[in-house]
Chain A
Amino acid sequence: MKTKTHQTIVLNEVPCPFCSLICDDLVIQNKDSKLTVKENGCAKVKAHFAQPLPDSTPALKGKSCSIDKAIKAAATILKQSSAPLIAGLGTDIGGMRSVMHLADNIGATIDHMHSDGVIRNTLVLQDLGWVMTTMAEIKNRADFIIFAGTDASNYPRFFERVIWNKNSLFRNIKKRKIVYIGDKLKTSTGRSPEGKLPTVLKCEQEEINEIISVLHAIIAGNIIQTPKIAGISLATLLKLAKQMQEAKYGVIVWAPGELNFPHAELTIQSICELVKYLTRTTRFAGFTLAGADGAMSANNVSAWQSGFPLRVNFSKGFPRHDVGRNSTKSLLKNKEVDALMWISSFSSNTRPPKAKIPTVVLATPEAKLDFKPDVFIPVATPGIDHSGQLIRTDNVVSLPLKKLRDSKYMSVSDILNRIIELI
């Protein structure tokens, strides 16, 4: 797309790359390469789109240099490393394909900045599995929705798009029942357009598991003696259990990144086992809100190219999947890696870890770093500066990202492909 001076271009149906809902109804104006959200963006992303393109250059230890020199220096660091870590992974499918190729070539470990959440789900999938659903099914089929430990506020348009949506194929939206279980949840969004309030079961995030387990026990026909469970009266849970069994299409929503306590995967597993049990008689499904900064894409590309979801190590020449050992935090802490490449092409707020090993940072030009990495290369943002694809939070739908403006910065994929050639 060529942008001439003083030209205003309006683009419709623009997919937004900044959260994993990937809303694709945005109307974006490009006026002299300055982007403005004209319609449908949430408050959160308006600022992202409006970010100007600062004049940044590649740099070696803070000293400005040419792109060729920076790529060469990055290649040298990775080549000399015997245990490199490629982390952050804030990129699109194309960038991730190149990450996989590079990691395989140099025997690196790969890990995403939001893996902690993604991996809680992975553990449940690999242990017992689940029954899941996607956004359009919730929008059209769900009559009963439980938010477990999340209020979806990190996904600002979730309620607008699939809970209080205007049109639905099969459901009277007004009759949708909303339940929240958890702590510090903003439950006002759960109020229906007619003013009907949601049911709120306030408990510690760590206590969600207890409530879910008791609901499961009740639904399975067990007699519960305890009058209060995690501060909630048994009568409330008995009522909720009955509503769940009577639902035509129930959904339990959780955000693995927001269940941030040790062994939260067991809470997720309890949710999934309850959903499975309900599926014996009615229809129920899980839904997960996760994966900003391309985390779902990274997880999926890792799975299809290596056979394993995230946290894979290639040091032996073949992929090794270990969700505990291969985490950025523990690899750096245990000094198991000797070079770090950090990738973050969506948000300037995601900071690389400060490590005492040679570090290459591929980040948005406006990234504010609190240290001077050995190599810094400003990169283009997928869906803003170049086209691409991203996978949505439900792990099924992927959207085509558009190029909205001309950028002088290279894509992550192009940079990594040049590094691959040099190694």
Chain B
Amino acid sequence: MLIKLSGGTVYDPVHGINGEKRDIYLQDGYITRKPASSIKIDKTYDLNGKIIMAGAIDIHTHIGGGKVNIARMMLPEDHRADLVSKTKLTRSGCGHAAPSTLTAGYRYAEMGYTACFEPAMLPSNARQAHMEMADTPMVDKGAYAMLGSDDFFLRMLTAKKDREAISDYVGWIINATQAIAIKVVNPGGINAFKFNQRKLDLDEQNEHYGVSPREIIKSLARAVRELGVPHPLHLHGCNLGVPGNMHTTLDTIRAVEGMPLHLTHVQFHSYGTEGDRKFSSGAAEIAEAVNSNPNISIDVGQVLFGQTVTASGDTMRQYAGHWHAHPKKWVIMDIECDAGCGVVPFKYRDKNFVNALQWAIGLELFLLINDPWRIFLTTDHPNGAPFTSYPHLIRLLMDRSFRNDMLATINKGAAAASILSSIDREYTLYEIATMTRAAPARSLGLKNRGHLGGGAIADITVYNNIKNKEKMFEKPLYVFKNGEEIVKNGKIVKVVTGGTHTLRPDYDKSIEKSLKKYFDRYMTVKLGNFKIDDDEIVEHGNGNIIVQPCT
């Protein structure tokens, strides 16, 4: 089947195409070059005046795994307000803060997304995370394995194991858990909390192991680079949410000494202690550091107002935050000498000084960081806001007068404390296409995604060109997944499964000897049963495995 997308206005930053009128041809799931005139075109879409981008990619969204499922179980009142009926094509479910897997897949696709990455897969919970992702239809998935608070790794650091051994362990984890990258959450802090430590700064030591977050970050960042994992170490830093943590973040950028590092949901790590409330924006300093350190990429973790739920591996900080739970219920779990999770429902209020300033700080970061190739659009779903608020967020970035109108409605003190009103920048469609398509694909090493060149997988989103960008981005005209039309006018027209992106870095298999001994002595599953076979992901018929190459 040869399909022609005719006459649309194309934004494809990988190829430097900035709003040019182009024809795009799709065949057998791929984008293909213009065929010879003798070849019959089976179907033509007249897309004159329409906007064409590659399918969007969410680099950081909590869509699967134990903590998300705890959030689902604990919030029936949130779900009851957003029940989703079955249709002839789609299954029932529910949405909002922690949507059912099926609804999450449908809504991502209906918003023009074709791939989503779960950033906090606990190795001990990886099997369930993959099962939930397999039950998330429409989009491709992938997950980052969480390390840095697991006792096996911390024992290695304490024992001064050489860097090759650590790389072997990291490589083994990626293979065993079918991950595509490595995440570290409050490095060593989840572990320290199990020893009753309540805070852990960059150079503070885990009392039991005598290692600091700085050492953990450097060790893992190096292992990730040496294994050829395309995505840099994905770091949720120390001191999340703590006023003054901007200095920790700046120190962390310096700590990696030029190694690639991705700082996630930086909004939550950009707080100063200025002003009467001892809570201020550090966005300008953080942005300056990101701008001048090309080894650093970030995603924002934008806060938007309303009810949501925060789900994180950071038990230490989630415990500290539970006093603000809304409604007043919360879960903390220590997990398998591996990591942990904390689930705290939260309501961000526009009239609350701190919440309003968090909102402004996120936007400041977006607008002050110059290079859209190194900043990705996220709300840290659902922690800052549910992913369904992305179109609203895009409008805030693209439309200065709308942004200033919103700014006028928030807490006055927060508005006054923010430099937001003085920032003129408006994101262009080209920059949006970069930060939501091209850049995440490049950062994750997805060579044939995130662009519209010949040979790319035909994951494509077509938008009506509407002045109100929220309206434009919330309801694409068409979405194509692997060359098939799956969404029309913002509604599912065909249900597809989506695959799972993985990586198979090479490592010295002899690491399994010490791992087996450790598992036999201290763990509660056998090494062989810890590992996830390909068959387990594909057997139920709702997914395939896509192995991405290492660099």
Contacts and interface: CB of A to CB of B under 8 A. Distances in A.
A129 B330 contact: yes
A7 to B, nearest CB: 22
B51 interface: no
A240 to B, nearest CB: 20
Interface in B68-111: 68-70, 72-76, 79-80, 83-86, 91-95, 98-103
A160 B23 CA distance: 68
B523 interface: yes
B529 interface: yes
B521 A167 contact: yes
Contact of A101 (B73, B91, B208): B91
Interface string B156-198: 0000000000000000000000000000000000000111100
B217 to A, nearest CB: 23
B128 A307 contact: no
A125 B92 CA distance: 24
A104 interface: yes
B529 A15 contact: yes
B333 A133 contact: yes
Interface residues of B, dominant DSSP: mixed
Contacts of A128: 328-329
A389 B127 contact: yes
Contacts of B64: 304
B335 interface: yes
Interface stretch (A62-70, A176-184, A313-321, A347-355): A313-321
A309 B73 contact: yes
Interface in A134-191: 134-137, 139-141, 161-162, 166-170
B319 A304 contact: no
Interface in A109-142: 122, 125-137, 139-141
Contact of A137 (B91, B194, B196): B194
A325 to B, nearest CB: 14
Contacts of B132: 304
A135 B524 CA distance: 7
Contact of A279 (B72, B76, B319, B526): B319
Interface stretch (A72-80, A338-346, A369-377, A392-400): A392-400
Contacts of B275: none
B147 to A, nearest CB: 16
Given A319-B93, A396-B124, A305 B526 contact: no
B529 A13 contact: yes
Interface string A315-335: 011111100000000000000
B85 A318 contact: yes
Contacts of A134: 124, 333-336, 524
A196 to B, nearest CB: 23
A135 B336 contact: yes
Interface residues of A, number: 65
Interface in B220-260: none
Chain A binding surface SS class: mixed
Contacts of B511: none
A397 B100 contact: no
B98 A131 contact: no
A89 interface: no
A308 B78 CA distance: 11
Interface in B508-540: 521-526, 528-529, 532-533, 535-536, 539-540
A216 interface: no
A136 B94 contact: no
Contacts of B336: 134-137, 396-397
B92 A129 contact: no
A139 B334 CA distance: 12
A308 B72 contact: yes
Contacts of B12: none
B438 to A, nearest CB: 31
B115 to A, nearest CB: 19
Contact of B73 (A141, A279, A303, A387): A303
Nearest to B128: A398
B152 to A, nearest CB: 10
A307 B72 contact: yes
Contacts of A206: none
B328 A319 contact: no
Contact of B128 (A122, A285, A314, A391): A391
B380 interface: no
Contact of B83 (A125, A169, A319): A319
A306 B131 contact: no
A93 interface: yes
B301 interface: no
A25 B526 contact: yes
B92 A104 contact: yes
Interface in A268-324: 279, 282-283, 285, 299-300, 303-309, 314, 316-321
B74 A125 contact: yes
A305 B91 contact: yes
A403 to B, nearest CB: 11
Q: Which 10 A-B pairs have the closest CB atoms?
A: A307-B94, A307-B100, A129-B329, A167-B521, A135-B524, A318-B83, A136-B336, A13-B526, A317-B85, A129-B330
18 contacts: A13-B526, A13-B529, A130-B331, A134-B333, A167-B521, A283-B334, A303-B73, A304-B131, A305-B93, A307-B95, A307-B100, A307-B103, A318-B84, A318-B92, A319-B83, A319-B100, A397-B524, A398-B131
Interface of B: 64, 66, 68-70, 72-76, 79-80, 83-86, 91-95, 98-103, 122, 124-125, 127-128, 131-132, 135, 151, 193-196, 208, 319, 325, 328-338, 343, 521-526, 528-529, 532-533, 535-536, 539-540
